[in-house]
């Protein structure tokens, strides 16, 4: 292969590699803008006055997602479930999913599912639910979150009668024995785990920019390395 041909070939490969890196960097910047826009929505909804459980009836969850809610209801601990294999502060555990019946009767026979918090579990699924109970009547502040999109696979874990692998609303309603509202309420409060037998609240979503900017700079840096490498290669060929 001639010197000119090898230089051209290396130049084409450099252009392709640098172009891919630049495209990935732009993609990360796009994701950064999307995240900032989402964070702005979350902040605005979090700053709005809390809604009552009755006010949530008939509301579109895409509009009420991340709204604060005041919860006043009777906890149905006998129908409680756990979302297995959760991690909090590096420790394995579960999220407690407690059906709640509003005190004002606004939802009739429909239960409201409250994610009461995180509980440590060495195997990620087995806990003493009796010790994790709070008051019979729950009074707390919460954030409204939508059920995640359906995923393939069994929602329940074979190794636990009330352990969930996926948050499938229909499966949860079957285990609860009554209809469920089309959302989950994330209980707010102390996220510090003081006692492994007592639940600590799950932190709300982080409103940082995330790693997207640093990832974008890395991809742009890789593109620059490819270009500089080609320039050094081409100059070396000329000197020879």
Tens-place pLDDT, residues 125-178: 888 888 889 999 999 999 999 998 888 878 888 777 788 999 999 999 998 888
pLDDT the model gives residue 183: 94
Indicate the range of 62-66, 152-156, 180-184, 199-203 predicted with least confidence. 152-156
* For residues 85-105, average pLDDT: 92
Name the residue among 182, 198, 201 with its Cα closest to residue 190: 201
Q: How confident is the model at residue 6 (pLDDT cuts 50, 70, 90)?
A: confident
pLDDT the model gives residue 238: 61
* For residues 103-126, average pLDDT: 91
Nearest-angstrom CA–CA distance, 13 and 229: 11
Domains in the chain: boundaries: 3-42+210-239, 67-187
Nearest-angstrom CA–CA distance, 113 and 93: 19
Asked if residues 56 and 100 have their Cβ atoms less than 8 Å apart, the reply is no
End-to-end CA distance of the chain: 15
Tens-place pLDDT, residues 57-82: 888 888 888 899 999 999 999 999 99
Using the predicted structure, report yes or no on whether residue 2 has a pLDDT greater than 70. Answer: no
Q: How many CB atoms lie within 10 A of CB 8?
A: 12
Single pTM value for the model: 0.79
Q: How confident is the model at residue 211 (pLDDT cuts 50, 70, 90)?
A: very high
pLDDT above 90 coverage of the chain, percent: 50
Nearest-angstrom CA–CA distance, 33 and 30: 5
Distances (CA, A) of 85 to 33, 48, 88, 90, 192: 31, 33, 10, 12, 19
Nearest-angstrom CA–CA distance, 162 and 175: 8
């Amino acid at each position: 292969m001639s010197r000119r041909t090898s230089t051209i070939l290396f130049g084409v490969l450099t252009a392709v590699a640098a172009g891919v890196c630049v495209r990935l960097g732009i993609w990360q910047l796009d994701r950064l803008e999307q995240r900032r826009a989402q964070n702005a929505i979350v902040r605005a909804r979090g700053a709005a006055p809390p809604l009552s459980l009755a006010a949530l009836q008939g509301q579109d969850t895409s509009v009420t997602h991340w709204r604060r809610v005041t919860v006043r209801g009777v906890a149905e601990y006998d129908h409680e479930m756990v979302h297995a294999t959760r991690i909090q502060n590096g420790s394995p555990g579960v999220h407690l999913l407690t059906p709640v019946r509003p005190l004002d009767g606004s939802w009739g026979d429909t239960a409201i599912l409250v994610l009461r918090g995180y509980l440590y579990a060495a195997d990620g699924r087995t806990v003493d639910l009796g010790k994790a109970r709070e008051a019979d009547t729950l009074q707390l502040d919460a954030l409204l979150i939508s059920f995640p999109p359906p995923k393939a696979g069994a929602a329940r874990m074979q190794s636990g009668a009330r352990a969930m692998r996926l948050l499938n609303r229909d499966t949860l309603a079957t285990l609860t024995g009554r209809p469920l509202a089309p959302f989950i309420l994330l209980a707010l409060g102390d996220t510090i785990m003081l006692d492994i037998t007592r639940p600590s609240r799950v932190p709300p979503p982080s409103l940082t920019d995330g790693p997207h900017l640093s990832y974008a700079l890395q991809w742009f840096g890789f593109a620059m390395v490819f270009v500089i490498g080609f320039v050094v290669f081409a100059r070396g060929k000329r000197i020879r």
